[in-house]
Each structure stands twice: as structure tokens, then as C-alpha cells.
Amino acid sequence: MARARGYRDEPDVWSHKGFLLAEDEMMKTHLSGIKVPGRDITSPTTEVGVWFRWPEGERQIRYPFITIDLLQADPAFDLFTSDYYPDSAGRYRPSVSPTLPSPPGGWGLQDYAARNYLPFRLMYQVAVHSRNALHDRYLQSIFKTDVFPVRPFWIQCPADQVWRRTELTQTAASDLSETTESGTKRIFRKVYTVNVLGEVPQDRIEDSWVYKALRVFIPVVSLAQFDSYYNTFLDNQPDPASDFTEQERVDGGELAHIYHQGRDMPSAGTPAPAPLPPSQSGSYGAGPYGSGPYGGTP
């Protein structure tokens, strides 16, 4: 039977989580809530709609509005570093969650060992569409000063609550005529190109135990009896300490021994056992995630 394919973090289209989906939602949230003034001081304000690409034909177009396009998502090779395992503090799941799920054995018994995340540079094109010069100038003003300032700025991604470094790389005017039969109405359109840093994990969370049971038996044997001891007590013997009495091993040439007994771990979903005493605890590990260097608080 073919092995089920596993994904590092499969995108969830309904909750808008996962690489690219979370960043799309982040950008839409950042651009939502903008309002433009009415025709005069007594007129109500109008909220600016935000859509991905051009609104579909069945949707009534109301100006002004904003469209978002993801142009490309490429590895930021200039920001890559050598493979390393970050410290366990502050780890998260990029574009998915601000925390990691508890390991099957619980944090007291297990931990995650993960390689550093890989930075990606996402290029977005944001177009602002208006039908009159007042709204066009108003939106240009707030975009230049607050929405997309000229210096690098930060936008929080709701999925993992990490601040994404963002840069405005280009601004262009691209006015056009309205696509109607007469085509007499001018549409003011300003296009902003921004780069956003995202992250991709190198490892995946496996829903299984990595550490099952560890039995270490190291005997100290007299040299004259080493061969016979090995053939009797060690060769094809999975558990000499339990299969033979101590007196039998002493008679066979054993002078001393070091023994460590681990603990059998059940499959995932079974309640975790109590932590082992320090003298009996082994080394636990369960790949895979760690924190990345391209997120932080501005």
C-alpha cells in the first residue's frame, strides 16, 4: 500500500492558515478598514473594499476599492544561513500557529529538534482604484505615510502572531478608462509593489513516538573469559540483564556492569506516562520545528 504523503504544514483554505494563505490574509487584514471622506463635510464616509485580483463579474463594483495580487514567492537565498538547530524557546509554526503542539510524551519527556526555517520573499502588487481625484489624492496620502511607508516596516501575521518585515519597492500610476460601452469615465489607479518576508520549515511534525525503549547493558568482563561471555550472554540476546541472573553472569566472567532501562512509549494519542526519575531518564527527541530568525517585534 502506498504511503500517505505527509506535508510540513498543509494549508487550510477555510481558516486561511498555511504558507501563502496566511500571508494573503495578513495583507488583506492590513488593508481593510480604510475609509474615504464623502462629497462634503456632512456626507458619510465610505469604506474601501479589498479584493484578491479584480472583483468577479457578479459582484457590484463600488469605488474606491483595493485589489491584491501575489506576483511571486521565491527563496531569499541572500538570507539563508548554515543548517542549525535553534534554541527551544519561542518556537512557533510559520503561517500556522504561534505555538507548537505538545509532543506525544508531553513537554516533560520530549522536545522538538528542528532545523532553522528557510526565509522566502513574497512579492505583492496592491492596486488602489478610485473614480475621482479627491479619493485618489486622499488614498495616496495615507498609503505614503501610514499604509506602505517608504522605510521598511512590519505587519503582524494573525496565524502565527509573528511580525513580517515588509518593504515598499515600487510605486506607479496606471490610470485607465472605465470598461463600459462609453468608456468615458477615467479611473485613477495607483499600483504599489511590496516585498514580505515569510518562512518555510525544513522539517515536519510526525504524529508518532521517536523514542520507544532504550536498554543499555555494558559489562566489564575478564579478558580470559571474554569470548565465552560474549557467545553466552550477548550474542543474539536482546536483554541479558533480564534473561540471566546476576550470579550466572558473574560465573561467566562478569566483573561489573552498567545498565539503563528506558520506558516503552505507547502510540500517539495515549496519555503520556509520568516523568522518569533523573537517574532513569533517557534522551528524548521528536522532530521537527524550531524558531526562525526572520520574525520579531518591531
First CA to last CA across the chain, in angstroms?
A: 49
How far is 262 from 67, CA to CA, in rounded Å?
58
**Residue with the larger pLDDT of the pair 283 and 167:** 167
pLDDT tier at 183 (50, 70, 90 boundaries)?
A: low
Same domain, 30 and 75: yes
Same domain, 245 and 113: no
Report if residue 276 sits inside a domain: no
Residue 28 confidence (pLDDT): 95
CB 229 within 8 A of CB 254: yes
pLDDT tops 50 at residue 282: no
Average pLDDT, the chain: 79
Summarised one tens digit per residue, pLDDT across range 25-39 is 999 999 999 999 987
CB 284 within 8 A of CB 261: no
Average pLDDT over residues 121-129: 96
Q: Which of 117, 147, 111 is nearest to 36 (CA)?
A: 147
Lowest mean pLDDT among 49-63, 75-89, 271-285: 271-285
Summarised one tens digit per residue, pLDDT across range 2-58 is 445 667 778 888 888 999 999 999 999 999 999 999 878 888 899 999 999 876 665
Residue 181's CATH number = 3.30.2000
Same domain, 196 and 224: no
Residue 153 confidence (pLDDT): 95
* Strand segments (E) across the chain: 35-36, 46-47, 49-52, 65-75, 118-130, 153-157, 162-173, 176-177, 186-200, 215-221, 254-261
Beta-bridge partner residues of 177: 186
Cell 515569510 found at: 198
Percent of the chain with pLDDT over 90: 38
Summarised one tens digit per residue, pLDDT across range 217-268 is 788 888 888 889 888 988 888 778 888 888 998 898 888 888 766 555 544 4
The cell numbers describing 73, all together, are 514567492
How far is 204 from 289, CA to CA, in rounded Å?
7
Same domain, 232 and 159: no
Contacts of 230 (CB under 8 A, 6+ apart): 221
CB 21 within 8 A of CB 12: yes
Report if residue 268 sits inside a domain: no
Give how many domains the chain has, as a whole number. Answer: 2
Same domain, 46 and 193: yes
Domain that holds residue 241: 215-261
Cis ω before 64 (30° cut-off from 0): yes
Contacts of 197 (CB under 8 A, 6+ apart): 76, 79, 119, 120, 121, 122, 164, 165, 166, 294
- Annotate 160-199 with DSSP letters as a single string: TTEEEEEEEEEEEE--EE-SSSS--SEEEEEEEEEEEEEE
Same domain, 240 and 161: no
Report if residue 298 sits inside a domain: no
Residue 87 confidence (pLDDT): 73
Same domain, 121 and 242: no
Residue 4 confidence (pLDDT): 54
Which of 105-114, 164-173, 210-219, 286-295 has the highest average model confidence (pLDDT)?
164-173
CA 222 to chain centre: 55
Report if residue 232 sits inside a domain: yes
Q: Which of 244, 261, 278 is the last residue in one of the domains?
A: 261
Average pLDDT over residues 149-166: 94
Residue 270 confidence (pLDDT): 46
Report if residue 7 sits inside a domain: no
Same domain, 170 and 195: yes
Same domain, 79 and 189: yes
Report if residue 281 sits inside a domain: no
Residue 55 confidence (pLDDT): 67
How far is 140 from 189, CA to CA, in rounded Å?
10
Lowest mean pLDDT among 107-121, 211-225, 248-262, 264-278: 264-278
Same domain, 115 and 256: no
Report if residue 185 sits inside a domain: yes
pTM for the model: 0.67
Task: Provide the greatest CA pair distance for the chain.
Answer: 106
Residue 292 confidence (pLDDT): 37
pLDDT tops 90 at residue 197: yes
Report if residue 277 sits inside a domain: no
pLDDT tops 80 at residue 110: no
Q: What is the DSSP letter of 17?
A: B
Q: Which of 200, 230, 250 is the last residue in one of the domains?
A: 200
Same domain, 219 and 195: no
Residue 161 confidence (pLDDT): 93
Same domain, 132 and 238: no
Average pLDDT over residues 137-144: 95
pLDDT tier at 184 (50, 70, 90 boundaries)?
A: low
